[in-house]
Amino acid sequence: MENCLVRVNYLVIVILLTVLSSCSPGELNKLLLVSFDGFRWDYLQRVTTPNFDALIKDGVQVKHVENVYITKTYPNHYTMVTGLYAESHGIVANEMYDPSLNQAFSMNKMDVYDSRWWDEAEPLWVTNQRAGHRSGAVMWPGSDVEIRGTYPTHYLLYNSSVSFEVRVQKLIDWFKSKEAINFGVLYWEEPDESGHSLGPESPLMNAVITDIDEKLGFLVEQLKSAGLFDTMNIIITSDHGMTAMSTEKIIELDNYVNGDLYTIIDKSPVVAILPKEGKFDEVYSALVNKNPNMTVYNREDIPDHYNYKQNARIMPIIIEAKEGWTIVQNKNGTFMLGNHGYDNRLPSMHPLFVAHGPAFRQGYKKDGMRSVDLYPLMCSILGIQPSPNNGSLSNVQDLLKQTHPTQPIPHIPQVRESSYAWVLGVLLGIALVIGFLIGFVKQVTDRQLSVVPHTNLEIVQPLLQADLHL
């Protein structure tokens, strides 16, 4: 009888595992979004980039991406993961002031950890988690902040001294873990820093671009070693480009208006001016039409194509420098050889876009796209419902394989139905097994109570409990 019970218990385990495996949901599409800060689209033409070339050959390339105004780091990184213009997601600059909060924000200070700056939008890692999936974020702006009550499933606190190799390893660990992520974001500070200090046209930038290509090669090699490359969708892009500056092209505001009448909230090349109370007219009239290399906007008159008006964090006066020009209060400030932030229609402000993976076509090239379209594209790959956004999947649908589902909206019911069916199947299977076991044990104990080995029952019970937590 003891041998018989062992065999029955073995049978029960086999049945249980069969039920569980037959009900498991399909593997989720994986997506890794990588930003090399300040990687101008035409840097790829400067030096040989074999690792980029390999991805492009078997994937897709969009020649350049029209990003959003202002073409600065924080606004554009938040656009990529929300599909919203800066006026809609609320991160309107790297340096901001919110009149209703009566607080200032600087990307270099602890203000970045105040959720209220970010809560006007929901980033994709949060949406992905609301759909029941897991996200991992390495240093992406905003990804170490609690947004709408949620952090990424896995994330690292921002620390610029963490090497690229360590960042990659973290992401791979999360993609490989037992409770794997399906969506990861990875940020790297170069070539932006070198572009600012050297100027984008400097021959020294060639080595910086080569280094980025080698870092991409490292990422691909690590994905291959981990057995992730063939199933991973990878998007390599950036937040903005870079243009050359000149010490001959400097505008000093002190030449036009008394500095005591206003506060500079954000710096060149799009200077955000907050006039002192009652001083708007005086400041505006002193600046408007005074220099052909700067355009002075009353916020209400900012052109519609900038989509940069409808937010209280956009200051009452915005001064935009012409490309290559720098606006300062006076020449006491620091000067950079390269900068970005200018008109988002300028090619020099545009980043690159390269993608590779099972969702993407192979060897396909496209002239341009908008960065707001990246978000619906990623939602489609992940199979999740996009939040309201300014992008359009139809603008970038051609990047995807035709077999890829064309409408993301049905995905959510499918995902949920699949989850419910899986849970229902597991519960039904467990109920059947328990019922069978109880019936069998009862029959045995009725016949021969004294020889029932209780330890055999204890093997099944923990298994049942453990599997219920899967």
Give residues in contact with Zn ion (CB under 5 A).
37-38, 73, 192, 239
Rounded CA-CA distance 101/369 in Å is: 35
We find the least distance from the C-beta atom of residue 107 to Zn ion, in angstroms, to be: 10
Three-state DSSP state, 63: strand
- Rank residues 38 and 376 by Cβ distance to Zn ion and give the closer one: 38
Q: What are phi and psi of 329, to 5 degrees?
A: -70, -45
The total of other beta-carbon atoms located within 10 Å of residue 168's CB is: 22
Closest distance of CB 336 from Zn ion, Å: 13
Measuring CA to CA, which residue among 192, 236, 260 is closest to residue 34? 236
> What is the spatial distance between Cα 236 and Cα 37, in angstroms, rounded to a whole number?
11
Catalytic residue among 48, 49, 71, 73: 73
CA dist., res. 35 & res. 199, Å (int):
20
Helix (H, G, I), strand (E, B), or coil: what is residue 243? Answer: strand
Rounded Cα distance between 434 and 44, Å, is 62
Which pair of tokens denotes residue 271? 């200077």
CB of residue 187 vs Zn ion: minimum separation in angstroms?
9
Q: Which residues pair with 98 in a beta bridge?
A: 103
**Conformational region of residue 135, where left means phi above 0, alpha means psi within -120 to 50, and beta covers everything else:** beta
Comparison of 79 and 390: residue with beta carbon closer to Zn ion? 79
Cβ proximity to Zn ion: between 242 and 359 the closer is 242
Q: Which is nearer to Zn ion, 73 or 387 (CB)?
A: 73
Q: How far is the CB of 93 from Zn ion (least distance, A)?
A: 12
**Of 238 and 291, which CB lies nearer to Zn ion in the complex structure?**
238
Q: How many helices (H) and strands (E) does the chain have?
A: 12, 18
Shortest Cβ distance from residue 89 to Zn ion (Å)? 16
Residue nearest Zn ion (C-beta atom): 73
**C-alpha–C-alpha distance, residues 200 and 402, integer Å:** 38
Least Å distance, CB 71 to Zn ion, is 9
| Nearest alpha-carbon partner for 294 in 332, 331, 249 | 249
Handedness of CA 441, 445, 450, 451 (dihedral sign): negative
C-beta of residue 305 within 8 angstroms of C-beta of residue 320: no
Nearer residue to Zn ion within complex by CB, 66 or 239: 239
**Is the Cβ of residue 141 or residue 383 nearer to Zn ion in the bound state?**
141
Shortest Å distance, C-beta 192 to Zn ion: 5
Residue type at 257? V
Closest CB to Zn ion among residues 78, 262: 78
* Calpha distance 274→262 (Å, rounded): 6
3-state secondary structure at position 368 = strand
- Quote the least distance from Cβ 196 to Zn ion, whole Å: 9
CA distance 423 to 470: 10
Q: Which residue has the tokens 């492009």?
A: 56
User: For this structure, is 243 an active site residue?
Assistant: no
Active site positions, annotated: 73
